Amino acid sequence: MYLTKEEEEILEGEAGEGFQRSMEILVTLGDIYKSERLVDITSAQISSVAYTNSGETGIRFLEWLVNTGAYFKVLTTLNPHSIEHDRWKEVGFPNDFSLRQLANTEAYRKLGAVGTFTCTPFQVGNNPRFGEHIAWAESSALSYANTVIGARTNRESALSALAAGLIGKTPLYGFHLDENRKGRVLVKVETRLREHADYSALGWAVGEKVMSKVPIFIGIPKNVDNYELNTLCAGLAVSGAVAMAHIPGITPEAPTIDVALGGEKPEETITIDDEELKLVYEDRSTKGIGSKVDLVLLGCPHYGYKQLKKASELLKGKKVHKDVRLWIATSTPISSAVKRVGWLDIIEEAGGEIMCSYCAPVSRAAPFGFKTMATNSSKATFYGVGAMGLKDTIFGTTEECINAAISGKWGE
| Contact set with ligand F3S (CB under 6 A) | 79-80, 119, 138, 140, 234, 300-302, 329, 359, 361-362, 379, 383
Minimum distance of ligand F3S from residue 50's CB (angstroms): 8
**Pairwise CA distance, residues 144 & 79, whole Å:** 15
CA distances from 369 to 95, 101, 325, 360, 390 (A): 17, 20, 11, 13, 8
Minimum distance of ligand F3S from residue 14's CB (angstroms): 37
Looking at the Cβ atoms of 216 and 390, the one nearer to ligand F3S is 390
Minimum distance of ligand F3S from residue 402's CB (angstroms): 18
Minimum distance of ligand F3S from residue 15's CB (angstroms): 32
Looking at the Cβ atoms of 88 and 173, the one nearer to ligand F3S is 88
**Pairwise CA distance, residues 193 & 188, whole Å:** 13
Looking at the Cβ atoms of 221 and 386, the one nearer to ligand F3S is 386
Looking at the Cβ atoms of 191 and 307, the one nearer to ligand F3S is 307
CA distances from 33 to 28, 127, 174 (A): 9, 27, 8
Pairing of strands 325-330, 295-303: parallel
Minimum distance of ligand F3S from residue 230's CB (angstroms): 9
Looking at the Cβ atoms of 138 and 400, the one nearer to ligand F3S is 138
* Pick from 8, 58, 2: nearest CA to 34: 2
Looking at the Cβ atoms of 142 and 210, the one nearer to ligand F3S is 142
Minimum distance of ligand F3S from residue 23's CB (angstroms): 28
Q: Yes or no: say if 380 and 355 are a contact pair by the CB < 8 Å rule.
A: no
Looking at the Cβ atoms of 173 and 382, the one nearer to ligand F3S is 382
Give the amino acid at 374.
A
Minimum distance of ligand F3S from residue 330's CB (angstroms): 10
Looking at the Cβ atoms of 343 and 358, the one nearer to ligand F3S is 358
**Pairwise CA distance, residues 101 & 79, whole Å:** 13
Minimum distance of ligand F3S from residue 359's CB (angstroms): 3
